[in-house]
């Protein structure tokens, strides 16, 4: 059982269950399928999350519709054993065969670590207080980047837009005289 997805190659020709219904789970399921794994996507929701990237959603929906990726919605994992994943879903208790299982149910920011550094955290969003143009936190010289910026609403930050944070941070460091251009 894994909580992070790495790469698809060692899962070739294997039964793999991916648990989750957001970007990480969907992207892993598609990658595994495209590299020869037999994939079952299990999600407790009625459908995939509204936060799934709009350009990926049709792909996963089409793979599910074509039966290329099996899916089970409104389904809760009860246990994971040597033979597979035991779930409760609309059809009652079922076991999905699985040699590998990915639990990709979401990212949570490490609020305790940020607070340990003295960063103020918004109690509602769990986002670190920061300048949105420079990503500098309330601690001078300490910056945040990537999905951590959004706190618990991390489905707003993807690799595609989070990678832009680095440039803004470097500019801010240089402008503050903390680094060389």
Question: What is the reported pLDDT for 53?
Answer: 86
Question: Is 95:83 a contact under the CB 8 Å cutoff?
Answer: yes
If asked whether residues 70 and 41 sit together in one domain, one would say: yes
If asked whether residues 94 and 116 sit together in one domain, one would say: no
| 10-residue averages of pLDDT along the chain (181 residues) | 88 97 94 98 94 90 98 96 93 96 83 94 93 95 90 74 88 80 53
Q: pLDDT (tens digit, 9 = 90+) per residue, 67-85?
A: 999 999 999 999 999 889 9
Question: What is the reported pLDDT for 83?
Answer: 85
Residue 3 falls within a domain, yes or no? Answer: no
If asked whether residues 40 and 15 sit together in one domain, one would say: yes
Q: How far apart are CA 24 and CA 19, in angstroms?
A: 10
If asked whether residues 91 and 115 sit together in one domain, one would say: no
Bridge pairing between strands 70-72 and 76-80: unpaired
If asked whether residues 83 and 14 sit together in one domain, one would say: yes
């Amino acid at each position: 059982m894994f909580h992070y997805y790495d790469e698809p190659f060692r899962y070739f020709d294997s039964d793999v269950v991916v648990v989750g219904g957001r970007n990480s789970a969907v992207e892993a399921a598609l990658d595994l399928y495209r590299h020869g794994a037999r994939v079952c996507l299990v999600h407790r929701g009625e459908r995939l999350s509204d936060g799934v990237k709009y350009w990926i959603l049709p792909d996963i929906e089409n793979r599910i519709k074509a039966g290329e990726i099996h899916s089970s919605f409104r389904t809760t994992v009860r246990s994971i054993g040597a033979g597979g994943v035991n779930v409760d879903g609309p059809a009652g208790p079922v076991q999905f065969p699985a040699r590998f299982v990915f639990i990709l149910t979401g990212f949570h920011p490490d609020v305790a670590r940020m607070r340990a550094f003295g960063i103020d955290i918004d109690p509602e969003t769990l986002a670190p207080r920061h300048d949105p143009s420079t990503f500098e936190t309330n601690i001078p010289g300490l910056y945040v980047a990537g999905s951590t910026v959004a706190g618990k609403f991390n489905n707003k930050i993807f690799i595609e837009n989070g990678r832009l944070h680095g440039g803004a941070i470097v500019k801010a460091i240089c402008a503050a005289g903390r680094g060389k251009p």
